Amino acid sequence: MANALCDLVDIGRWEECYNETNDIISRHLCNGEYITKYTERTKNEIEEDKAKKAEESVQRLPLTAKEEILFGTGLSWEHYPPVALRRLEENTKEQEFLSTIFNPIVEYAMKEKLIERKINSAVSSDIYEYVVHLIPDDWKKLNVEDYEEIGPDGRFERGEKLFNYLKNQNPISVKQDQKQITLFDSGIFANPFDFSAARQNRKSKPQIEAQSIIYMKRILRKNTELFLELRETLCRYYDIVKILEFREKDQKYKYQVDKFIRYYQYGVVYSEGDAVWRYMINNKGNTRTLCKFDAVTRRDYSSIEKNLHRRTGKF
């Protein structure tokens, strides 16, 4: 249907006039008096609504304007994909939506691996399949306090490992928690894209990777239902990621303290009583300065620094 509409004469001009209309309320049959999936809401608006329904006090979350959008829900009819696809770069409404809402959401989802490329050893490496990990509304147990999968960067693993952990906590769920980013019955975009021709034409792997992401975004922009599901998942993901980030900070601090004490015990890091801490850089005994302390900085020691000073007297 969208392809047929796209071929109508002057459909682009009709949409341009539509975008310039000032009377937003009268554009659709639904005037927004009911909250539906066509209502865009920020994370704080959602939490305020929950608190009011539970007759609890409203506590605003300390979110930036960008985070309000990232963890919000819904998609107004104003932001549904345009029908005129041939001159999208001239559609100012679409470009504004992409830069302020769609792209930030997709890029954050990729960073957190809610969207990721699925590698299948049974198919060619030229096939690029992207999936969205979802948190269905019948997943009631989302506690990650005992999640212990840690990656090489010291952060808790995101993506499939995290969502498998959550899935195992909700065994009675019957809803789909992972979906391909494709467009049903749309020709080449109905299946994962094959870049074998691009590779044979000597396109580099980074070039193919970048193009695959462009295709993935184009497909997800048109797959409105899947994008709405991603938004609902991000809203539920907020509490999960905040717990993981808090645990990561605590873990990083413990890791740094443990390493410092070990290096101190072996004499790799040391002070000679002159308020200068040094560390060895090779087995010849060459050193570099780690830090210096003067009378001013010593007044602002952290608790761990003060404790180390009491034990060694070497600050």
Counting other chains too, the contacts that 145-153 makes at CB distance below 8 Å and 24 or more residues apart are 145/243, 145/247, 147/244, 150/251
Q: What percent of the chain has pLDDT over 90?
A: 42
* Gap between the Cα atoms of 88 and 99, Å rounded: 13
**pLDDT recorded at residue 140:** 94
Q: What percent of the chain has pLDDT over 70?
A: 79
**Nearest one of 71, 93, 92 to 27, comparing CA atoms:** 93
**pLDDT recorded at residue 153:** 79
**pLDDT recorded at residue 234:** 97
More confident residue, 312 or 227: 227
The residue-averaged pLDDT of 51-60 equals: 87
The residue-averaged pLDDT of 130-141 equals: 96
- What's the pLDDT tens digit per position in 144-181? 999 999 888 778 999 999 999 999 999 999 999 999 99
**pLDDT recorded at residue 188:** 76
Question: Which of 44-58, 160-174, 238-252, 295-309 has maximum average pLDDT?
Answer: 160-174
Greatest Cα-to-Cα distance within the chain, rounded to the nearest angstrom = 84
**Orientation of helix 103-111 relative to helix 224-265, angle to 10°:** 40
**pLDDT recorded at residue 210:** 94
**pLDDT recorded at residue 267:** 75
Question: Which of 105-119, 196-210, 240-254 has maximum average pLDDT?
Answer: 105-119
More confident residue, 313 or 45: 45
**pLDDT recorded at residue 88:** 75
- What's the pLDDT tens digit per position in 23-48? 544 444 444 445 667 788 999 999 99
Question: Which of 59-68, 73-82, 182-191 has maximum average pLDDT?
Answer: 59-68
**pLDDT recorded at residue 312:** 55
**pLDDT recorded at residue 287:** 80
The residue-averaged pLDDT of 74-96 equals: 80
Predicted confidence (pLDDT) at residue 205 exceeds the cutoff of 80: yes
**Adjacent-strand bridge partners of 115:** 132
The residue-averaged pLDDT of 215-238 equals: 94
Predicted confidence (pLDDT) at residue 20 exceeds the cutoff of 70: no
The residue-averaged pLDDT of 130-148 equals: 95
Tell me the pTM: 0.74
**pLDDT recorded at residue 29:** 42
Predicted confidence (pLDDT) at residue 253 exceeds the cutoff of 90: no
Predicted confidence (pLDDT) at residue 129 exceeds the cutoff of 80: yes
Give 18's pLDDT tier (boundaries 50, 70, 90).
low
Predicted confidence (pLDDT) at residue 65 exceeds the cutoff of 50: yes
**pLDDT recorded at residue 121:** 80
The residue-averaged pLDDT of 274-292 equals: 78
